[in-house]
Amino acid sequence: AQKITQTQPGMFVQEKEAVTLDCTYDTSDPSYGLFWYKQPSSGEMIFLIYQGSYDQQNATEGRYSLNFQKARKSANLVISASQLGDSAMYFCAMRPRASKIIFGSGTRLSIRP
Amino acid sequence: NAGVTQTPKFQVLKTGQSMTLQCAQDMNHEYMSWYRQDPGMGLRLIHYSVGAGITDQGEVPNGYNVSRSTTEDFPLRLLSAAPSQTSVYFCASSYSLENTEAFFGQGTRLTVV
């Protein structure tokens, strides 16, 4: 069965600190993609970062990086130097090849000034 | 470039009424899908399509129908609205069946009374 698990319903982090949002996944497909999305209070879904299962290096996009540990089936999002605007819901998602995209239940991140 | 357009943005229905949520994309994307998001929860897949004329069920398809007569459009039909279908509905599309991110519409907030 294909499944995405986010075990942190909510997190509080001090501004300017780094934060790691956990994500584990389960799939039997050897080829898949992993994604992170941000959903601010306004409700839109914003794509942050992508990691392919065959990528040798961890993906990075500005302050976002994806800590991909294939053997452990984990794809944690790391946000460096957090900002107040990072307060939002964060969703991890997975897409096995040529198939549907499934999402985790999300983590609500709150940045304290 | 409009991206993914959902209409309407808000809708109130009475129990038993039917309606169609519209979704259109102008990016020539093969893959389109519908999700529902209930308060404090992640996105659950209702139906998806991997190309014109091809649709398949997600994890919560009951009470919803879809069709994909063109590449651009992927309407979601509520056959007989129930209060349990009160939710925010998102349409998403992606370029191919391979590991590319999904682009989301702005969402439709549906209330069934």
Chain B positions touching A31 (Cβ under 8 A) are: 99
- What is residue A6's predicted lDDT score, i.e. its pLDDT? 96
pLDDT at A98: 66
What residues of chain B have any CB closer than 8 angstroms to a CB in chain A? Answer: 33, 35, 41-45, 48, 50, 56, 58-59, 88, 90, 92, 94, 97-104, 106-107
Judge whether A47 is closer than 8 Å to chain B, CB to CB.
yes
What is the rounded distance in angstroms from the CA atom of residue B19 to the CA atom of residue A79? 41
Question: Which of B43, B100, B103 minimises the CB distance to A91?
Answer: B43
Whether A98 contacts A29, CB under 8 Å: no
**What is the 8-class DSSP label of residue A59?**
-
Amino acid in the structure at residue B1:
N
pLDDT digits (tens, 9 = 90+) for A31-41: 899 999 999 99
CB contact under 8 A, A47 and B103: yes
Mean local confidence (pLDDT), A61-72:
96
Task: Give the model's confidence band at B100: pLDDT under 50 very low, under 70 low, under 90 confident, else very high.
Answer: confident
